[in-house]
Amino acid sequence: MAVISYREALNQAMREEMERDANVFVMGEEVGHYNGAYKVTQGMLQRFSERRIIDAPIAEMGFAGIGVGAAMVGLRPIIEFMTFNFSLVAIDQIVNNAAKIYQMSAGQFHIPIVFRGPGGPAVQVGSQHSQSLESFYAHVPGLKVVMPSTAADAKGLLKTAIRDDNPVVFIEGETLYNSTWEVPDGDVLIPIGKGDIKRAGSDITLVAWSKMVWTCLDAAKELAKDGIECEVVDPRTLRPLDVDLIVESVTKTGRCVIVEIGWPVAGFGAEVAYQVQKHCLDALDAPIERVTSEDVPMPYAKNLEDEVQPQVHDVVAAVKRALYLEA
């Protein structure tokens, strides 16, 4: 079992699937000669040629539409957005075409397409490049939404997404590309819709995805110094959501804090909170807490950027509120 970066894991997943299936190809801005804006497609042009690693112009609506059409005739496109902020330019193709063609064609056309790229805030890239848009896409029936937090999850879930006959929105943590994790050898697939316990605990459940899993793990280490044992639940996929795993954990601990880097109003954490109260009301010993980014566009100044996003001390404070301890 090798320890590799999140970036390398994604690269491995695409290489392996392209070698396994000649119908898989990658299209996006700078994916070929530049090796990808975040170097996720490094070396793939040399391996697979311009026929399968296709540099697209700055026209997200156009190349997303090409991908949808290619999927309709049996190919398996991987459409890379340089950042998911730019997917908003292509949202008509994703929401009105990719998500709906199977239903509108009465099952005549499957759309086996993956829309992938980095999402969430990076570091000082401004408000237009720092948005977490997962709740937008998780709202849409017909789309699957995947947000891995580790290299192992990134590889296993991307391979599964490429083989899926339905459109998958695969949002990578923009600040996770250099993070490392043990990745199993061989053709390991992770089912979409199956979450994971990243840290076992007995006192409170922390539910988080993507970058916030790491924030919760750091918070759990801090809280362990005070004898508080947190269980960190990573859904890994938001649609479909592994409600059973979350319910099992909260039923055990009796308390729940949901941590997301998106905005609070209509954020995906609100859906998680609904599912927890629906299934765990009798087990809850305290109100559900949510930790989110502040309800503002992302500032550019680094000190303000850090202030806006959830930090370890914010999670620690929420846990202590849920435990009726002084924060």
Q: Which of 317, 312, 237, 318 is nearest to 272 (CA)?
A: 237
Q: Which of 17, 60, 172, 271 is catalytic?
A: 60
* 327 residues of the chain, pLDDT tens digit each: 899 999 999 999 999 999 999 999 999 999 999 999 999 999 999 999 999 999 999 999 999 999 999 999 999 999 999 999 999 999 999 999 999 999 999 999 999 999 999 999 999 999 999 999 999 999 999 999 999 999 999 999 999 999 999 999 999 999 999 999 999 988 999 999 999 999 999 999 999 999 999 999 999 999 999 999 999 999 999 999 999 999 999 999 999 999 999 999 999 999 999 999 999 999 999 999 999 999 999 999 999 999 999 999 999 999 999 999 975
Q: Is 279 among the catalytic positions? A: no
Using omega within 30 degrees of 0 as the cis cutoff, is the peptide bond preceding 167 cis? no
Domain range summary for the chain, segments of one domain joined by +: 2-183, 196-322
Q: Which residue shows structure tokens 């509108």?
A: 104
Q: Which of 129, 139, 279, 294 is catalytic?
A: 129
DSSP assigned state of 87:
G
Helix (H) or strand (E) holding 77: strand 76-80
Q: Is 260 among the catalytic positions? A: no
Domains 2-183 and 196-322 share a fold: yes
Q: Which fold has domain 2-183?
A: Rossmann fold (3.40.50)
For 136-162, give one letter per residue: b (16+ CB within 10 A) or e.
Answer: bbbebebbbbbbbbbbbbbbbbbbbbb
DSSP 2-28: EEEEHHHHHHHHHHHHHHH-TTEEEEE
Token code pair at residue 254:
């009796």
Q: Which fold has domain 196-322?
A: Rossmann fold (3.40.50)
Residues in the chain: 327
Report the predicted TM-score, pTM, of the whole model to 2 decimal places.
0.96
- Give phi and psi for 154, each to the nearest 5: -60, -45
Give every CB contact of residue 153 below 8 A, 6+ residues apart in sequence. Answer: 181, 190, 196, 234, 236
